[in-house]
Amino acid sequence: MIRIAFFDAKDYDINSFNNNITDEFEMKYYETHLTVDTASLAAGYDVVCVFVNDMIDKAVIDALVESNIKLIALRCAGYNNVDIEYAYGKIDIVRVPAYSPYAVAEHAMALLLTSIRRIHKAYIRTRDFNFSLNGLTGFDLHGKTIGVVGTGKIGRILIDISRGFGMKVIAYDKFPAKDSGIDYVPLEEIWEKSDIISLHCPLTDETEHMVNADSIDRMKKGVVLINTSRGALVDSEALLEGIKERKIGAACLDVYEEESDVFFHDFSGHIVADDVLARLISMPNVIVTSHQAFLTKEALENISLTTFANIREYLSEGTCANMVTYKPE
């Protein structure tokens, strides 16, 4: 029997994993995040299963190793929340590299359409029987230029969707996809020529705050920025200033750089202490969703099945195709 301690568990997680569990696994679901203070809850288990806002730092890794945890199983693609360098040689890590690129790309387009056609505002108005069209003027996507930063599976699907709307697509990727037919340009050209910019790249030291005061200054006046990737790709304070200065025409955010203490929780009856996030949400041209781009039935199914397969493969073979690898210099 493989015993798994599952952290940051939500109802949709529990349902999807319970639907696919087999007799070889025993699950214990914890609502709390995995931190150095909660790591003791994993004692006696073989595997910890974690999500994007569980911070796997040195102290947590040491605590897991001391508890004889055999594996950290990420149920997400990104691993910037894990100190993989420190984990090297101490404990192995596996991830779910792709669960539904369609879900994320479609959510990015849904945010864009909602924003530029003022659908969220129209919905609120008509609920109050206000059928005025004043202030709801949008613009056509047809003929506009969208700059896609990152052309992995999600980025390429958004490119296909954008072409279906008759948009001109330019893209940037450090490692361009060969024979893809994608019009790759330097990153500076993305900032300067795009009417809409959508981010679909991983968070690294190189990409952190790639959208900052300097890059915003290069952008077209009225540009629409979409981020469904990682929050720290965008300098939130610089974004706020860009909106206040009317340089950023709209922002569609499914992620936020300080989201770990806010997203996935209900603060409707409380005061949010994050002033930058509160000011962003108060802006009429900003839409924020709480890291829900991945949240489809298909994605949850793939996450649970792949996570179980990763654990099974690692514990039986000592390795896994979806291991997160660190190469020491």
pLDDT grade for 265, boundaries at 50, 70 and 90: confident
Same domain, 129 and 219: yes
Structural domain of 223 = 101-288
Of 75, 156, 257, 259, catalytic: 259
> Model-level pTM?
0.90
Residue 259 annotated among the catalytic residues of the structure:
yes
Residue 230 annotated among the catalytic residues of the structure:
yes
Same domain, 170 and 225: yes
Model confidence pLDDT, tens digit, residues 190-234: 999 999 999 999 999 999 999 999 999 999 999 999 999 999 999
Of 230, 241, 270, 298, catalytic: 230
- What is the pLDDT, as a whole number, of residue 266? 87
Model confidence pLDDT, tens digit, residues 168-180: 999 999 999 999 9
Q: Report the number of distinct structural domains present in the chain.
A: 2
Model confidence pLDDT, tens digit, residues 298-309: 999 999 999 999
The alpha helices in the chain, defined as continuous H runs, are 11-20, 58-66, 84-87, 101-116, 119-127, 153-164, 187-193, 213-218, 236-244, 275-282, 297-317
Same domain, 40 and 109: no
Query: Which residue is listed with tokens 């994605």?
Result: 299
Distance CA 164, CA 256 (A): 29
Same domain, 150 and 163: yes
Same domain, 74 and 113: no
Which residues, 6+ apart, have CB-to-CB distance to 211 below 8 Å? Answer: 197, 199, 225, 227, 233, 234, 235, 238, 239
Average pLDDT over the chain reads 95
Same domain, 142 and 235: yes
**273 pLDDT exceeds 90?**
no
Q: In this predicted model, which residue has the larger pLDDT, 263 or 166?
A: 166
Same domain, 275 and 152: yes
The answer to the question of residue 324 being in a domain is: no
Rounded mean pLDDT, 251-264: 91
